[in-house]
Structure formats: C-alpha cells, structure tokens
Amino acid sequence: MLADQRAVARKILRAKVMVAMDGMPPYQGRTIDICPQGLSLHFDHKLNPGQTGQMMYEIFLDGKAQVLTCRCKVSHCIFSGDQFKIGFQFVNPDAAVTAAIAKYMR
C-alpha cells in the first residue's frame, strides 16, 4: 500500500469550478479538495501535465459564497471511474485568493 506523499494537509471542497485552459473553451468540473498550493477536481476532459489556464470557483466563508479566480497549472491527470481526476497548482495567486484559502483551511 502506498502512503500519501502530500507535504501539506488538504481540506474537502465540493463546489462547481469553471476551467479555461489556454487555447481551449471553458469547461465545468467539480472540486474534490484544496490546499494553499492548489486543488483537485473531477473533470470530463483529459488535460496534460504542464498545461496552464484560468479557473474560477466558489468557497463559502462566514456563510457567504466568495468567488475566487486564479491562474493554474495541471500537475497530474488520472482517469478515475468515468471521469478524470486532475490536480492543479495555483500560479501566482493574488493576496485575496491566498487569504480566502487560508481562512477556509482553518
């Protein structure tokens, strides 16, 4: 059995996410979990590690939805069931995104 090799804790996040990879139209997915450096999601389309784009998703903080938008890069893509499980790294997130994720992680 393989041990989880993640260096940081992740927190479950179940939300719709819109992903627009560079040169592709936007597609919708569902988030799985999040950490300060990135998030993973279920997606109907295969993406290649290293691809970059923009993502937009909601986080609920203090009972209110907050929409976060940031650049992202695919770290891995695995076929799982009938969808792809894709890991994304945030690319230079702004202070508002970083603060919102830190607050959500508490």
Tens digits of residue pLDDT in 26-50: 999 999 999 999 999 999 999 999 9
Token duo for residue 86 = 């894709």
Paired with 11 in beta bridges are: 34
Strands 52-61 and 16-21: antiparallel
Query: What pLDDT, in 10s, does the model give residues 72-87?
Result: 999 999 998 899 999 9
CATH number of the domain within which 69 lies: 2.40.10.220
- Domain that includes residue 31, residue range: 11-105
Please, what is the Cα angle at 89 between 84 and 94, to 5 degrees?
A: 135
Domain membership flag for residue 6 = no
Domain membership flag for residue 2 = no
Whether residue 4 is predicted with pLDDT greater than 60 in this model: the reply is no
**Backbone φ and ψ of 22, nearest 5°:** -55, 130
Contact 83/18 with Cβ under 8 angstroms? no
Domain membership flag for residue 1 = no
What is the pLDDT at residue 7?
A: 67
Domain membership flag for residue 15 = yes
Percent of the chain with pLDDT over 70: 93
Domain count across the chain:
1
Domain membership flag for residue 3 = no
pTM of the model: 0.88
